[in-house]
């Protein structure tokens, strides 16, 4: 009986970790190939508008809009001032954006802000929208590169999304490690999916959708992870998200301490909530012949890498030979993944040096688990992440 219990626990641990390392292995291999392009159909004109959802972003909005103005390419800018208690709307108007104010305490999610922004953009004559968060800086070619891919036939796109160093500027291993993890999730994995012909995913910032896509699959998502939730709907419907590899958006890292813990918990909790709701939809798509939904299913059920590595360490306490071999293979996949993610950054040696802080990071992630579980509730709200003020 004891042996059966140990074997059952070993199987459970392997199943717990398998989606993550399966997804990582696919993405590492996929980075060896070029991202696929949309099949060219009839030439079409894209009238692209930029929608910036903003909740109490008075200190950051001018910097974001300045970078979008520099990107130019004749796109209209719409800022949705959503339940703001500060001067976000005024600052956005002074920076030249068209402001859509949404003041309704019953509409508390980012999804509601985006729906209002999309409606305003389409009413003004746009037929595609690019979403940029109000705490971000975009590359000068983002608007042009996104429009070009949409003109080639893409119905949805996602660009590189990375973190800037903390505003304090000093190198800090935990902050660097977090940025490396963020690049792995939002750059390496997206590039790998694109290289293998899968949908890249949506990351909530730097993504674009056509009006036709939103008519077909309305943006009726209200969870914290509205980007992940909407992507599961696109994947189930067979609408791929194409990768814009040569353009990027950068968001400033949150302040350390409680602000960072809160944001991490919101991301993880939101994904957990979406995974529990989207599994049936994705399985139905697989049964219906949309095999590419398999990767999306693995993605939504993937642990963060830090939690996956903790699970591998726990396997050492079980005297199950095959489980140790499984853990060794997963560790090799993780090593290849981390090296590849570091190689995509500007300072790979600095990124790899930050790995010395991995044990501390894993312990910290374990400590915020109760907060993650609280944030997985369906009614958790959109809240501004505390960051340092920035000027254009």
pLDDT in tens, 126-166: 999 999 999 999 999 999 999 999 999 999 999 999 988 65
Is the pLDDT confidence value at 390 over 60?
A: no
pLDDT at 381: 58
Could you tell me the pTM of the whole model?
Answer: 0.89
Q: Which residues fall within 8 angstroms of residue 200, CB to CB, at 6 or more apart? A: 35, 158, 190, 191, 193, 194, 240, 241, 242, 243
Tell me the average pLDDT across 299-323. 87
For residue 97, the 8-state DSSP code is: P
pLDDT at 18: 92
Is the pLDDT confidence value at 61 over 50?
A: yes
Is the pLDDT confidence value at 1 over 50?
A: no
Helices (DSSP H) in the chain: which residue ranges? 2-30, 61-71, 88-94, 110-123, 142-151, 173-183, 189-195, 211-216, 226-237, 258-287, 293-300, 305-314, 321-343, 348-353, 358-367, 369-375
* 4 Cα distance to chain centroid: 40
Burial bucket for residue 76 (CB in 10 Å: 0-12, 13-18, 19+): middle
Token pair 């995913």 is found at: 201
Pick the closest to residue 82 from 64, 102, 97, 111 (CA basis): 102
Q: Which residues fall within 8 angstroms of residue 123, CB to CB, at 6 or more apart? A: none
Pick the closest to residue 152 from 37, 57, 66, 287 (CA basis): 37
Which tens digit of pLDDT belongs to each residue from 289-303? 999 899 999 999 887
> Picking from 30-39, 93-102, 260-269, 312-321, which range would have the lowest pLDDT averaged per residue?
260-269
* Residue 244 CA neighbour count, 13 Å, CB half: 33
pLDDT at 372: 66
Which tens digit of pLDDT belongs to each residue from 359-377? 888 887 777 777 766 665 6
pLDDT at 378: 54
Mean pLDDT of the chain, nearest integer? 87
Token pair 């979403």 is found at: 131
pLDDT at 160: 96
pLDDT at 232: 96
Burial bucket for residue 363 (CB in 10 Å: 0-12, 13-18, 19+): exposed
Pick the closest to residue 21 from 332, 344, 279 (CA basis): 332
Which tens digit of pLDDT belongs to each residue from 208-225? 999 999 999 999 998 888
- φ and ψ at 330, to 5 degrees? -65, -40
Q: For the chain, what percent of residues have pLDDT higher than 90?
A: 57
191 versus 255: the higher-pLDDT residue is: 191
Decide: helix, strand or coil at residue 355.
helix
Is the pLDDT confidence value at 3 over 60?
A: no
For residue 141, the 8-state DSSP code is: T
């Amino acid at each position: 009986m004891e042996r059966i219990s140990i074997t059952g626990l070993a199987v459970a641990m392997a199943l717990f970790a398998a989606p993550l390392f399966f997804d990582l292995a696919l993405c590492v291999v996929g980075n060896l190939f070029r991202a696929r392009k949309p099949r060219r159909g009839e030439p079409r004109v894209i009238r692209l508008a930029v929608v910036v959802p903003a909740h109490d972003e008075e200190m950051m909005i001018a910097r974001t809009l300045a970078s979008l103005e520099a990107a130019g390419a004749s796109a209209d800018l719409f800022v949705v001032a959503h339940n703001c208690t500060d001067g976000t709307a005024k600052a956005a108007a002074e920076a030249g954006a068209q402001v859509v104010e949404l003041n309704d305490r019953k509409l508390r999610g980012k999804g509601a802000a985006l729906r209002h922004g999309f409606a305003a953009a389409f009413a003004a004559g746009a037929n595609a929208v690019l979403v940029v968060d109000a705490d971000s800086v975009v590359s000068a070619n983002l608007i042009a590169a996104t429009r070009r891919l949409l003109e080639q036939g893409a119905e949805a796109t996602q660009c590189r999304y990375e973190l800037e160093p903390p505003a304090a500027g000093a190198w800090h291993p935990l902050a660097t490690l977090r940025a490396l993890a963020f690049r792995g999730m939002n750059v390496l994995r997206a590039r790998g999916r694109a290289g293998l012909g899968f949908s890249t995913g949506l990351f909530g910032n730097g993504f674009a959708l056509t009006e036709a896509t939103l008519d077909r699959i309305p943006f009726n998502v209200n969870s914290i992870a509205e980007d992940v939730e909407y992507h599961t709907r696109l994947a189930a419907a067979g609408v791929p998200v194409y990768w814009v590899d040569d353009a990027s958006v950068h968001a400033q890292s949150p302040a350390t301490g409680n602000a960072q813990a809160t944001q991490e918990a919101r991301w993880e909790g939101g994904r957990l909530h979406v995974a529990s709701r989207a599994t049936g939809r994705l399985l139905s798509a697989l049964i219906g012949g949309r095999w590419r939904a398999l990767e999306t299913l693995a993605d939504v059920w993937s642990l963060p890498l830090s939690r996956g590595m903790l699970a591998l360490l726990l396997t050492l306490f079980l005297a199950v030979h095959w489980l140790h071999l499984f853990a060794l293979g997963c560790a090799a996949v993780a090593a290849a993944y981390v090296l590849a993610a570091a190689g995509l950054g500007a300072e790979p040696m600095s990124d790899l040096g930050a790995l010395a802080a991995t044990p501390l990071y894993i312990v910290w992630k374990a400590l915020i688990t109760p907060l993650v579980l609280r944030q997985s509730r369906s009614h958790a709200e959109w809240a501004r992440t505390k960051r340092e003020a920035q000027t254009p």
